Amino acid sequence: MAGEDFSSPVFSLDMIFGFLGISYEFRWPVLWVEPHLTWLIDGILTTLRLSAISWCFAVFLGILFGAMRTVPFRPLRAVATVYVEFFRNVPLLVWLFFWYFGAPEVFPEFIRQWFIRHGIEFWSGVAAISVYHGARFAEVIRSGIQSIPRTQLEAGISSGLSVSQTYRLIIIPIALRLIVPPATNESLNLLKNTSLAMTIGIAEITFASRQIETYTAKAVEALTAGALIYLVLCLAISTIMNHLEKKFAIPGLIARGARAEH
């Protein structure tokens, strides 16, 4: 079959390598013969699904704990500080192993069964990424809230709103519009960090390119494909977000986007 003719070099990198005296035979077609192409496409879909689900949970946790860190009530602030400082200061890889290998044994049996039925790798990955990035989003949202003048909160309260109403109706909507640039950065970090999920066996893009490498021993081709896919995804997201940033910018306010924390 023509598709399996791996021996024909089709790329000029071949010449560069030849010039440098390195013997490596390029076989780019390994990327588009089956089942390799299916692996890559499934990998892209898994990365997108993992990122999207984790992103929703992470943003929810981020808004919740980020807002809690600014409220005028000490116990709530303390809880949120402990969450943020502990979870964002430990490597995501450790959290992935913790949620995949360690955490399931402390859950009750029926929860564990549900996870095993619905793909325990995937949901452990979602848990680890959401909780870790939730702490990082919380920092972004906190600095967004803190860049809003305190008078907004006071005005809200003095016009008869409760603290939670003021947060829900005034502070958080303004903060969300202020933090679009650092939040974009953080979202891209989340997308790139889903690549760590390969370590617990989630078949996302990095996993797929490693798999092609294992089956064909064509490392350069497989890893180039993986890297290019991430580049394209990141570029696409930042283009969309740049557009949204212009749309959601608060008129008359110089961009004072809160600084992104680690």
Partner 1 sequence: MNFDWAVIIANAKFLLLQGLVGIGAYGGGTLRLAVPAILLGFCIGVVLGLARLANRPWIHYPAVIYIELIRGIPLVMVIFWFWFLVPVLIGRPVPEYWVALTAFVIFEGAYIGEIIRAGIQSVPRGQADAATAAGLSYAQTMVHVILPQAIRNMIPSLVTQFIVLFKDTSLASIIGMMDLTKAAQTVSERELRPFEMYLFIAVIYWMFTYSMSRVSQWLERRMSPERAA
Binding site for partner 1 (CB under 8 A): 22, 24, 85-86, 89-95, 97-98, 101-103, 105-106, 192-193, 195-196, 198-199, 206, 209-210, 213, 219-220, 223, 226-227, 230-231, 234-235, 259, 261-262
For 195, other C-beta atoms within 10 Å of its C-beta total 18
Comparing CB distances to partner 1, the nearer of 95 and 115 is 95
Phi, psi of 91 (to 5 degrees): -55, 140
DSSP 148: S
Q: In angstroms, rounded to a whole number, what is the distance separating the alpha carbons of residues 8 and 29?
A: 9
User: CB 57 → partner 1: shortest distance, Å?
Assistant: 20
Beta-carbon-side half-sphere exposure of residue 46 (alpha carbons within 13 Å)? 24
Comparing CB distances to partner 1, the nearer of 2 and 22 is 22
Q: In angstroms, rounded to a whole number, what is the distance separating the alpha carbons of residues 138 and 60?
A: 9
User: CB 261 → partner 1: shortest distance, Å?
Assistant: 6
User: CB 16 → partner 1: shortest distance, Å?
Assistant: 12
Comparing CB distances to partner 1, the nearer of 103 and 170 is 103
Comparing CB distances to partner 1, the nearer of 46 and 209 is 209
251: which 2 tokens? 């008129």
User: CB 262 → partner 1: shortest distance, Å?
Assistant: 4
Phi, psi of 69 (to 5 degrees): -70, -10
